[in-house]
Amino acid sequence: MQTHEIRERFTNHFVRSGHEAVPSASLILDDPNLLFVNAGMVPFKPYFLGQETPPFANGTATSIQKCVRTLDIDEVGITTRHNTFFQMAGNFSFGQYFKEGAITHAWTLLTGSLAEGGLGLDPERLWVTVYLDDDEAAEIWEKKIGVPAERIQRLGMEDNYWHMGVPGPCGPCSEIYFDRGPAYGKEGGPAVDDNRYMEIWNLVFMEKERGEGTAKGEFEILGDLPKKNIDTGMGVERVACLLQGVENVYETDLLRPVIDTAEKLTGATYGKDNTADIRFRVIADHSRTGMMLILDGVTPGNEGRGYILRRLLRRIIRSARLLGATAETMQQFMNTIMDTMTPSYPEIAENRERILNVATNEEKAFLRTLESGTQLFEQAASSVKQSGSTTVAGDQAFALHDTYGFPIDLTLEMAAESGLEVDIEGFESLMAEQKARAKADNQAKKHGHADLSVYRQWVDEHPTEFLGYEALSSQSKVLGLVRNGESINEAHAGEEVEVILDHTPMYAESGGQLGDRGQLVSGDTLLNINDVQKIGKKLWIHKATVASGGLDLGSEVTVNVDGKWRHGARQAHTATHLIHAALRQVLGPTAVQAGSLNRPGYLRFDFNFTEGLSPAQMEQIELITNQAVDTDWAVNTIETSLEEARKMGAMALFGENYGDSVRVVEIGGPFSMELCGGTHVTHSSQIGPVTLLSEASVGSGVRRIEAYSGMDSFQFLSREAALASGLASSLKTPTVDLPERVRQLTDKLKAAEREIENLHKAQLAANTSKLLDQGVEINGFTVLTIQLPKGTSAGDLRTVATDLRGRLGEREGIVVLAAEDGQGKAPFIIGATKSAIARGVKSGDLVKLLGGYVDGRGGGKPDMAQGSGSKPEGFNAGFEALKSELAQL
Ligand code: SER
């Protein structure tokens, strides 16, 4: 049975019993605790916690959710069942049916005949587990369903108590396993062997809420959820593996074609050698995860989600190389996986080109890294060998990884090939340090401190109401004060504090738009609000300094947005939408937004695109943008459902959740339509002029445009104009002729410089012959010690010295020249003729001697050596010392 059909049978089974079918949410939801959606229940979290009422007719839903889990990335390809991307089919009851309902639904689908819409699994091969003390579930399985007691096992916290790894809903669970037979492992049920007995479905009896604690297990139970709920998850790829009779999840209909492609591209054969097979499976698994992440808007980067994507793509490239690929492979892998996945995810079709661009650019960049990393490794290896050691130090391996992006597994492998070891413990401890730093930095950057638990009470109970689309001022109540991660009751003059209000007109940083600036007033109390950030989607944190008076918890206050700031931010944000639209007109639909920043007067816009923009393209984008300003389009905002927004053709659907009401900002109808929560001008002409400043690369396949808007744009243009007219008047030429005039001047200047250089050389040559007269005879040597005029450069010294030495011919001559170069240095040079060298003179030694008198150093060969000092007053004494040295030779 094809995966697509399994999906359909699942959905139909639950829709028949009244569940509402809900489409998969994006892999990226706005939850600060989760990098990616990692379970089917994630989008439903607020309903479990009782924060929101489920919008489903019967209080039940079913979905097939895209999930990414990378915690077990090292298991991929080694076990038979670990996918980093998988589809979790689930049914959910929000306070409706509980244990008995969930168990019955799952059993009828799994064991129901194919003709009745079931999956037709043999009931005799199914085993179940329940939580230690969950007699109720055990009894339902045994009495109601008829599973023999010996195939019901009880397991502890680690296996049969489900939680998200972070605070949220949780509860005991019951899991269903399929016995693959004696060929796959020991007898004795899932408690003994979870390879032979493959887990296919987890039924969670969601009734508790967990607090802070560790990802894997230890945490506090905060209490009961408002209702008893059901959350289940059936692993679609695992069921596919069983129903398709293949050995593992990498050989199912969706992934096997990637393995086939890899065979073609690498020349290796799947199924012959275990190490090679693991690489094939890694390629298949990661190709799909990478593709699905790019589809949902992730681009490769060095932190967070971007880093995970980068790591996955690089592991593909690396595995292909190890299997024998010598050329690029990414395009073929992506094409294959897009073909198999498109029937279930039709949106892939319109994103094909973009996905290919992102993935192949990363491949190109990584292949360059591999090349330079290999060279660096070889250098490191040879210095290790030279030093007599056999171990590449941990910090060397870390530098290769950290600075050059060279993967550690490659370092290990190359080390082994050259008979070396790597101090892997040293490497890992440096990695751990770096990770800890990055994590703390990241959280601290936004919120000033890393621990967000202090906000929890307000996030859950008092999400902030935002009034700022209509109002610039509000009467609000102070619900919370936070300093250094601690909740406090009052703030005093001079202190910095974070203020939490019941409602606010202040925009909090999001969607690239910076938070508003403004003031909070109450009687004599005045706080300057310097920034506003959001926790999750719901809580506004006003970062403020108390300028005068004091602020108590519970105070009634007036909050005023700085109108000028807001005006500027609106101009910049709407300008960003116009530039985005213009960009796509000029560059085509693959130029998709990858990030942006808007603050009053300035904006930057990052987008996926592989080539640099030409001046002509930049001009066109600027022109279309300013024409859109000039047209004075109304800027409309429409609140609607995600589905409606999609139908309207609105762009940028990342991070939105099914059922969310979304805000579409529309300018000029189809010209620009984006999902956006930002604040905008009401008519495009209010933006004022927009000037593009620059365009540059900011990472593989991502480019950045910067621009000014409004008065800042005008001031920029006016400064440029003033500059041009200033230049024109000093060059006495009309502005239009400036380029030609400047060209003439530079030509003239170059000619004059050449002329001066020639004169200078002639002059040096003329003077040199006179210098020869200054030679003195010492011990049979002809010695010249001359200080040339101030301003003589080291280069001139060398020219004159070479000339003089030549003129000394066969004589035993030594030329010593020195000068002050006029820039604080005292260069000197010593040359010796062949016959002088034959008598033992070494210019290099003499230079060292002279250097001692002028606080200088130098060196060179016996025939010519050069140095530089900083105390020219020492030259005369130095000359005398040289002479007496020569006298004794
Ligand atoms: N939330 C549970 C899991 O992820 C069941 O859906 O396994």
Confidence band (pLDDT; 50, 70, 90) for 449? Answer: very low
Between 875 and 374, residue with greater pLDDT: 875
Question: What is the rounded average pLDDT of the residues 497-515?
Answer: 95
pLDDT the model gives residue 450: 43
Q: How close is the Cα of 232 to the center of ligand 1, in Å?
A: 6
Q: Candidates 38, 170, 206, 231: which one to mutate for ligand 1, based on the most atoms within 8 Å of Cβ?
A: 231
Two tokens, residue 444: 């601290």
Q: Could you tell me the pLDDT band of residue 305, with boundaries at 50, 70 and 90? A: confident
Closest ligand 1 atom to Cα of 164: 1
Question: How many Cα atoms are found within 13 Å in the side-chain-facing hemisphere of 757?
Answer: 7
Instruction: Give the contacts of 829 (CB within 8 A, at least 6 positions apart).
Output: 794, 797, 798, 801, 815, 816, 817, 818, 847, 864, 865, 866, 867
Mean pLDDT score of the chain, rounded to an integer? 91
Whether 717 has a pLDDT exceeding 70, the answer reads: yes
* Class level of CATH domain 581-719: alpha beta
Asked whether 90 lines ligand 1 (CB < 6 A), one says yes
Average pLDDT over residues 82-109: 97
370 pLDDT above the threshold of 50: yes
Distance, CA 418 to ligand 1 centroid (Å)?
A: 46
**Mutation test residue for ligand 1: of 83, 91, 94, 162, the one with most atoms within 8 Å of CB:** 162
The beta strand positions in 726-787, using DSSP E, are 776-778, 781-787
For 378-524, strand residue ranges (E) read 391-392, 421-422, 465-466, 473-483, 486-488, 490-491, 496-501, 503-504, 518-522
The mean pLDDT value for 656-674 works out to 82
Q: Lowest-confidence range among 282-296, 302-316, 328-342, 671-685?
A: 302-316
Residue 201 · residue 176 · CB < 8 Å: yes
Decide whether any atom of ligand 1 lies within 6 Å of the 204 Cβ. yes
pLDDT exceeds cutoff 90 at 120: yes
Q: For ligand 1, what atom is nearest to the CA of residue 40?
A: 6
Task: Write down the pLDDT at residue 452.
Answer: 67
Q: What is the mean pLDDT of residues 537-565?
A: 95
456 C-alpha vs ligand 1 centroid, how far in Å?
A: 24
Q: Which of 86-90, 437-441, 507-511, 610-614 has the highest mean pLDDT?
A: 86-90
Distance CA 820, CA 789 (A): 7
**pTM score, whole prediction:** 0.63
pLDDT reported for residue 384? 86
Q: What is the mean pLDDT of residues 717-723?
A: 95
The CB of 202 under 6 Å from ligand 1? The reply is: yes
Separation of CA 229 and ligand 1 centre (Å): 13
Question: For residue 201, how far is its CA from the centre of ligand 1 (angstroms)?
Answer: 8
Closest CA to 872 of 790, 776, 752: 790
Tens of pLDDT, residue by residue over 43-66, are 999 899 888 889 898 999 999 999
Tokens 């790829």 found at: 237
The alpha carbon of 148 and the centre of ligand 1 are apart by a number of angstroms equal to 25
Ligand 1 pocket, 40 CB below 6 A?
yes
Calculate how far, in angstroms, residue 234's C-alpha sits from the geometric centre of ligand 1.
8
Q: Are the C-beta atoms of residues 584 and 613 closer than 8 Å to each other?
A: no
Residue 441 amino acid letter: D
Residues 810-814, mean pLDDT to the nearest whole number: 95
pLDDT above 60: residue 311: yes
Q: Is the CB of 87 under 6 A from ligand 1?
A: no
Residue to mutate (ligand 1; options 14, 34, 41; most atoms within 8 A of CB): 41
The per-residue pLDDT for 439 is 65
* Average pLDDT rounded to a whole number, residues 477-505: 94
What is the number of residues in the chain? Answer: 889
Average pLDDT over residues 439-449: 53
Which segment of 197-201, 262-266, 290-294, 318-322 scores lowest on mean pLDDT?
A: 318-322
C-alpha 690/C-alpha 693 separation (Å) is 10
Per-residue confidence (pLDDT) for residue 656, from 0 to 100: 57
pLDDT in tens, 724-762: 999 999 999 999 999 999 999 999 999 999 999 889 888
Of the spans 397-411, 635-649, 714-728, which averages the highest pLDDT? Answer: 714-728
The reply to whether ligand 1 has any atom less than 6 angstroms from the CB of 172 is no
434/747: higher pLDDT? 747
CA of 36 to the centre of ligand 1 (A): 14
Is the pLDDT at 671 greater than 70? The verdict is yes
pLDDT, mean of residues 623-632: 97
Q: How far is the CA of 634 from the centre of ligand 1 (A)?
A: 46
- Classify domain 774-887 at the CATH class level: alpha beta
Tell which one of 204, 207, 210, 237 to mutate to probe ligand 1, the residue whose CB is within 8 A of the most ligand atoms: 204
173 lines ligand 1 (CB under 6 A): no
Q: Please indicate whether residue 232, judged by its CB atom, sits closer than 6 Å to ligand 1.
A: yes
The answer to whether the Cα torsion of 498, 500, 506, 508 is positive or negative is: positive
The pick from 170, 202, 208 for probing ligand 1's pocket by mutation, whose C-beta has the most ligand atoms within 8 angstroms, reads 202
867 lines ligand 1 (CB under 6 A): no
Residue 624: is its pLDDT beyond 90? Answer: yes
Query: What is the amino acid identity at position 387?
Result: S
Considering only residues 657 and 625, tell me which one the structure prediction assigns the higher pLDDT. Answer: 625
Q: Is 276 in the pocket of ligand 1 (CB under 6 A)?
A: no
Outline where DSSP puts E strands in 214-302. Answer: 219-235
What local confidence, expressed as pLDDT, does residue 726 receive? 95
- Ligand 1 within 6 A of CB of 665: no
Query: In this structure, are residues 526 and 549 in contact, taking their beta carbons and an 8 Å threshold?
Result: yes
> What is the spatial distance between Cα 400 and Cα 412, in angstroms, rounded to a whole number?
11
Whether residue 97 is predicted with pLDDT greater than 60 in this model: the reply is yes
CA nearest neighbour of 395 among 358, 368, 433, 367 = 433
Stretch 531-535: mean pLDDT: 91
The C-alpha atoms of residue 160 and residue 202 are separated, in whole angstroms, by: 9
Is any ligand 1 atom within 6 A of the Cβ of residue 874? Answer: no
Question: Is residue 658 over pLDDT 60?
Answer: no
Q: In angstroms, what is the span from residue 503 Cα to ligand 1's centroid?
A: 36
If one residue of 47, 67, 173 were mutated to test the ligand 1 pocket, choosing by the most ligand atoms within 8 A of its CB, it would be 173
Is residue 291 within 8 A of residue 359, CB to CB? The reply is yes
Which pLDDT belongs to residue 293? Answer: 96
Asked if residue 206 lies in contact with residue 171, where contact means CB atoms within 8 angstroms, the answer is yes
Among protein residues, the one whose CA lies closest to atom 4 of ligand 1: 39
Is 162's C-beta closer than 6 angstroms to any atom of ligand 1? Answer: yes
**Confidence at residue 448, expressed as pLDDT on a 0 to 100 scale:** 47
849: confidence class by pLDDT, cuts 50, 70, 90 = very high
In angstroms, the CA 622 to CA 620 distance is 5
More confident residue, 696 or 165: 696
Q: Which residue's CA is minimally distant from atom 6 of ligand 1? A: 233
Atom of ligand 1 nearest to the CA of 38: 4
Centroid of ligand 1 to alpha carbon of 130 (angstroms) = 14
CATH architecture of 453-561: Beta Barrel (2.40)
Residue 343 is classified by DSSP as T
More confident residue, 686 or 380: 686
- Whether residue 365 contacts residue 700, with contact meaning beta carbons closer than 8 Å, is answered with yes
Nearest partner of 684 among 649, 709, 650, 705, judged by Cα: 709
What is the per-residue burial (b if ≥16 Cβ within 10 Å, else e) of 69-103? Answer: bbeebeebbeebbbbbbbbbbbbbbbbbbbbebbb
Residue 367 C-alpha to ligand 1 middle, in angstroms? 38
Residues of each annotated binding site for Zn(2+): 573, 577, 676, 680
Superfamily of domain 3-247: Bira Bifunctional Protein; Domain 2 (3.30.930.10)
pLDDT grade for 654, boundaries at 50, 70 and 90: low
- Name residue 708's amino acid: Y
